[in-house]
A = this chain, B = another copy of it.
Amino acid sequence: MHFQIEHTASTSPARSGLLHLAHGTVHTPAFMPVGTRATVKAMTTDEVAGLGYEMILANTFHLYLRPGDEAVRQLGGLHRFMNWNGPILTDSGGYQVFSLSKLRKMSEEGVEFASPIDGSRHLITPEKATAIQQNLGSDILMAFDECTPYPCAEADARKSMELTLRWLERSKAAWTNRDEQNLFGIVQGSVYAHLRAESARRTVELDLPGYAIGGLSVGETKEELYPALEVALAELPVGKPRYAMGVGTPEDFLECVERGVDLFDCVMPTRVARNGRAYVRGGTRNIRNSRYTLDPRPLDETCVCEACRHYSRAYLRHLYQCGEILSARLMTLHNLHFFKDCMTQLRQAIQTDSLPALRARWAAEKAAFEQAEVEEMA
């Protein structure tokens, strides 16, 4: 892996770069669509690539349970299995073990849990999570961490952070395929700035190819999120990629990019699409709304995605009302196009050192959208 910074903003630590990985190069800052079970829901990989995405994320926890990492390995690895030729990042499964599994039993060794699919018992350890990701063959593997819930008392946050650091050492020791796969460590510490700083410092001591900020987007306020993020980022080496896990929305991207983040992932654009919500310039639009019943306009009149070029709000509402698969497809396509476009705008603004102008433009778009909504509702 080689991370090449191209431009740095004059007004902030924002930077654009190229992340060279075994399966290709990623232009940063970049958003990774989430392909939980080796599929970005409702999309083919050709469509995802066609939107301009270069790297996607897949979930260790889900793929370990089904079809099993050993099966994926036998079938030629995750890239071949899911027909995605570009880089893949796999999360460690830590977050899912805590949010999705039942009958969890935590220990120093790892986490024992019951499968939500068939109730079978499993033990995931840092070594196991690393071995699974090596079987999957992802370009970036994440260290197995404990993701603290929100809110979390300071004493608990410290205890959890210490455990995550001990687990990180074990993950690193288990990481053997170092030429093709890159282990990222995860900074924890909840909303406590001094814990975030300490976590970052001690994670960096392990000298890994890249670093992630975990435990974000778990319910904390923006006022808690950004200071915690800033102190953590300040401790990370400038020359290595930084990944804000589970972040977020276009507004979050701008805030994080200005603080020096390079990589993002979030289920939001794909998940809300399936519930009928589209991201449009300045806001979101819920296609279930009855005011779209006879609306011949596209989701977003400035958008050039396939959904907006060919289909009306009225048709998309009809598809949603009927529970048609094409609804999920077109809404997902649109949202992923929108998110990619946001990233392209951010990257270009960094390269032309015009992030403040972009911030102003997005603010104006938000005001215009809200004004138009008020007028339409009147």
Please give the residue numbers on chain A whose beta carbons come within 8 Å of chain B beta carbons, in ascending order.
37-39, 41-46, 66-67, 71, 74-76, 81-83, 293-294, 296, 306, 310-312, 314-315, 317-319, 321-322, 324-326, 328-330
Contacts and interface: CB of A to CB of B under 8 A. Distances in A.
12 contacts: A38-B315, A38-B318, A39-B319, A42-B326, A44-B306, A44-B326, A66-B322, A67-B317, A75-B312, A81-B314, A81-B318, A325-B328
B41 A324 contact: yes
Contacts of A322: 37, 39, 66
A147 to B, nearest CB: 23
A169 B297 CA distance: 40
A67 B325 contact: no
A45 B310 CA distance: 10
Contact of A329 (B44, B74, B314): B44
A71 B39 contact: no
A318 B37 contact: yes
Contacts of A83: 310-311, 315
Nearest to A83: B310
Contacts of A310: 45-46, 83
A294 to B, nearest CB: 6
Given A71-B294, A74-B294, A81 B315 contact: yes
B43 A326 contact: yes
A41 to B, nearest CB: 6
Contact of A71 (B75, B293, B319, B328): B293
A71 B313 CA distance: 13
Contacts of A43: 326
B315 A75 contact: yes
Given A44-B326, A46-B310, A66-B321, 14 more contacts: A37-B324, A39-B319, A41-B324, A41-B326, A43-B326, A44-B306, A44-B329, A46-B306, A67-B293, A67-B317, A74-B294, A75-B312, A81-B318, A83-B315
A324 B44 CA distance: 11
Contacts of A75: 294, 296, 312, 314-315
A325 B293 contact: no
A71 B317 CA distance: 12
A74 B296 CA distance: 9
Most buried by B among A44, A293, A312: A44
